[in-house]
A and B are shown apart, each in its own frame.
Chain A
């Protein structure tokens, strides 16, 4: 039984499940490092998921669908930025409003364009990587390695590239230093000539783009359909991953993988154990609470996280 659950397929599905969490979590990293809390990630993911499927079905090109999801994510990020940065409104409230908006607008357009609340994706991205050898041909070891690491959606490889880039940008470039300083001590950054407003806008819109991409992966690559409320709290689990990862890209990726293992395990356990499926469905959420509680005392948010910037005058 043990071998039935923990095999190469399990590793591969853990990675796949972790991708949207990691991308949205990285969005959270950018936003909160600049000092803006973005709990609208959940809604942006949902809207991205819908947009990806809808645009793919209209254009027959999944790549256009992915780009559209990113674009819509940036737009919603822009709304959050205008509300929180320009109008200095409460960031949690704005995020909640974006989530409400997303729940409504996705189903609204589902009815309007497709006349149903679940739409199948008519086309998917091609699998990139090495071809899978048939069972029995070649060594099992090579086959397992390919299953685990070299037979995925292009977005999986893209995510890895994005994470390496994000790490380099945040910690090895002057831009990253400025971004982090804006979230830690905006007054000092302002004195040094950093444009706080511009930096925060860029960060929040980046987080929107990443959450939109995460949503497109969820619908196009993982589920192959869109259904209302399909994000299922993943935007918030992504925030838990961000906190557990101490607001760093690599830490967030690690935490997202942990959640990926949890969710993949939950999927595997269905039908294997006698525990009712409803309890297995709770695993990712219980894991998130457990992770958050255990991160306390070890994870400190950026000092100016959640505080609108008021320029001192006179």
Chain B
């Protein structure tokens, strides 16, 4: 009996490794905060109380979590097929740009056509960009890691160029002040292409919610995509094949599964998830394409996927945690008048990732030893 109990204890431990990693990460963060002469208790108290202490905070957290759910799912989905899609950044650029392009080009379409069309464009842009490394990997065996990174830089240049081509005309106020647009952004998308903010819905059912809060319907799209990812991976033949290739490509091939086909499909679906970030950033927030608002999402998606153990539910939870850290970090930055740079949060996230992979390995080894003893 005793040995069985111990065994369960280790399985439980395996489930909560992300939690251990988060605590270790916060401890390292506390040490850094002490080193720069601030009080970690005060910093963390400020961070969490502003992020999750009231509705406005929660709204901001979910708004920041939304794009991370998309990019986290993208990384997790590809990882299930044994692929490292670290090109989320580029897929986000192209997907969001295409969504914006559809939004400001077909301005006379009604909302019930234009909104789905924009969402589709976002997914297609990301899918297209991810298909290139997928095909190169499947057909020629080129490792996807370097190609996806190179595609990020190409996407950054390409979308920057396109933003110049479709540049918004200077406003009269800008011409009068003689200001030049430093960061080019595109024209605004049509009213019919915009996703409603959550406050409009919440206020209509008499729930008090501040109108300046940017959380929008895109959050529900993200949740929907998480469910879709779960459904594809565990309830369809395609998902079974993708996971089989991820576990053991040789065995999958022997079992009659086309490794090449599934690699390409997994990358395309993964890229489509990343591209959907455009629904939040373009359709729900800025209503135009602008480069600076997107940076870092692809890479943070990797951290989110790892912390969420490459499971859709885990990804959603991890994205919300990162949303709390990002928003709370920004608040702390303001409250300490910049004495604690918000990049502390990036450092924290990287430390959490390292602890996740280490604690995963350690627990796996403990379980293996346990099994041998039992």
Residues of A within 8 A of B (CB): 39, 79, 83, 87-90, 92-94, 96-101, 103-105, 107-108, 111-112, 115, 232-233, 236-237, 239-240, 243, 276, 278-279, 281-282, 285-286, 288-289, 292-293, 296
Contact = CB atoms under 8 A, between A and B. Distances in A.
Contacts, number: 126
Contacts of A292: 142-143, 146-147
Given A96-B86, A103-B299, A296-B140, A285 B154 contact: yes
Contacts of A276: 161, 164
DSSP class of B's interface residues: helix, strand, loop or mixed? helix
Given A286-B154, A292-B142, A296-B140, A101 B350 contact: yes
B361 A88 contact: yes
A285 B303 CA distance: 25
B277 to A, nearest CB: 18
B372 to A, nearest CB: 10
B158 A282 contact: yes
B241 interface: no
B170 interface: no
Nearest to A100: B350
Nearest to A102: B350
Q: 6 tightest A-B contacts by CB? A: A104-B346, A101-B350, A278-B161, A111-B341, A100-B350, A108-B343
Interface string B128-168: 00000000100011110111011111100110110010000
A107 B361 contact: no
Contacts of A96: 86, 299, 302, 353
B249 to A, nearest CB: 15
DSSP class of A's interface residues: helix, strand, loop or mixed? helix
Interface string B97-112: 0000000000000000
B162 to A, nearest CB: 9
B349 interface: yes
A115 B154 CA distance: 31
Given A104-B347, A108-B347, A236-B150, A279 B161 contact: yes
A232 B161 contact: no
Interface string B193-219: 000000000000000000000000000
Contacts of B357: 83, 87, 89-90, 93-94, 97
Contacts of B161: 276, 278-279
A276 B136 CA distance: 27
A79 B302 CA distance: 19
Contact of A288 (B36, B141, B146, B300): B146
A240 B149 CA distance: 11
A19 to B, nearest CB: 20
Nearest to A286: B154
A236 B347 contact: no
Contacts of B30: none
Contacts of B343: 104-105, 107-108, 111
Contacts of A282: 153-154, 157-158
Contacts of B183: none
21 contacts: A39-B145, A83-B358, A87-B362, A89-B361, A93-B302, A100-B300, A100-B303, A104-B346, A105-B343, A108-B343, A111-B341, A115-B338, A233-B149, A239-B146, A285-B154, A289-B147, A292-B142, A293-B136, A296-B140, A296-B141, A296-B142
Given A107-B346, A289-B136, 17 more contacts: A92-B84, A93-B357, A94-B354, A100-B300, A101-B346, A101-B354, A104-B346, A108-B346, A115-B338, A233-B153, A239-B146, A240-B150, A278-B157, A278-B161, A285-B153, A292-B143, A292-B146
A15 to B, nearest CB: 23
Contact of B349 (A100, A112, A279): A100
Residue of A89, A96, A232 with highest tally of chain B CB at under 10 A: A96
A99 B303 CA distance: 11
A140 B158 CA distance: 41
A89 B360 contact: yes
Given A39-B145, A88-B361, A83 B354 contact: yes
B20 interface: no
